[in-house]
Amino acid sequence: MNYPASISLKEQRNLFFNNFPIRVISPAKINLYLNIIGKYKNGFHKIESIVNRVSIFDELLISVNRSNKINIFCNHKELENEDNLCFKAAKLIKEKFNLPFGFNIFLKKNIPLGAGLGGGSSNAAFTLKGINKLLDLRIPQRDLFKLGAILGSDVNFFLKDTSWGYMEGKGEKVTCLDLETKLKYLVVYPNIKLSTKVVYQNTKVGLTKFINRVNILIYLLRQKDLSLVEKFCFNCLEKSAFNLDSNLKSVKEFFERRGFFCMMSGSGSAFFTILNRYSKKAENTLKKEFYNKGWSIFEAQTY
């Protein structure tokens, strides 16, 4: 940020303190397709993925403070630390613009942790967006993407103003998909946290390559042929996740025994089904059974 030379450091500090905090909502995502197609020399996996932004939201309240520190407050106390991606996002902007003040970030988590729904990446992206708007920094989108790529592989998808995206590279290269398809989901989180890093490390690379599968799935989504969409959905990380925790496979089988399509999202451990094809009665019966098992369930739709 370039202040006029006539504004003193004290005046700079006071410039924003009378502003109201900014509130932003931070949505989740679902991977309808995720495949590892190679590996970089630095050990990162080369992926391709079709992702859908969905209506499960965390909430962020961001304000400026006089302490020159970045403070994170959260309903999950274990996230109140410098490893939190909100902290890292705020720190990047603070350093980039040499800001002479700090931030208070209040994070209300609704997206479950370790679920493969992109909660942390979304929080990082919307912290960048929120501070950009709060301070009227007018950071060009290309520069936001550079910051997003530093923070994590999924962050740039959430920086894009799109419901549907195709991700490649490490996940930082995002192409907006012009799809009008609105899907309704039932998302189940069996209260099992998985480490994205460990899931990827335990996945064999290059054994399943579907050259045209991405384009076919995009075409089917455009045609809204949900029966075939389900058949072309794919997640190469499922096997690794099931090997790490055998209870996860039973979640998928629970869906399938009742005639529902089911797939794990991202690196897990959340699972989803597409509800558009099923009756309300079948949906309600399924939800009741999940409640009885004590699993967390979310109704969501394309956002």
Give one DSSP letter per residue of 46-97, joined into a string.
EEEEEEEEEEEEEEEEEEEESSS-EEEEESSGGG-STTSHHHHHHHHHHHHT
Pairing mode of beta strands 164-169, 173-176: antiparallel
Which residue, 131, 49, 59, 141, is CA-closest to 89? 131
From 29, 129, 160, 252, active-site residue: 29
245 is catalytic: no
For 16, the token pair is: 């924003």
3-class state of residue 278 by DSSP: coil
Pairing mode of beta strands 102-108, 70-74: parallel
Per the CB < 8 A criterion, the answer to whether 166 and 175 are in contact is yes
For 32, the token pair is: 């309808």
CA dist 91 and 96 (Å) reads 8
Residue with tokens 């708007």, as numbered in its chain: 133
DSSP state of 303: -
Backbone angles phi, psi at 245, to 5 degrees: -150, 105
Per the CB < 8 A criterion, the answer to whether 49 and 236 are in contact is no
From 58, 129, 154, 252, active-site residue: 154
154 is catalytic: yes
* Exposure b/e, 139-172, CB count within 10 A at least 16 = b: beeeebbebbbebbbbbbbbbbebbbbbbebbbb
For 120, the token pair is: 């942390």
Residues classed as catalytic? 29, 154
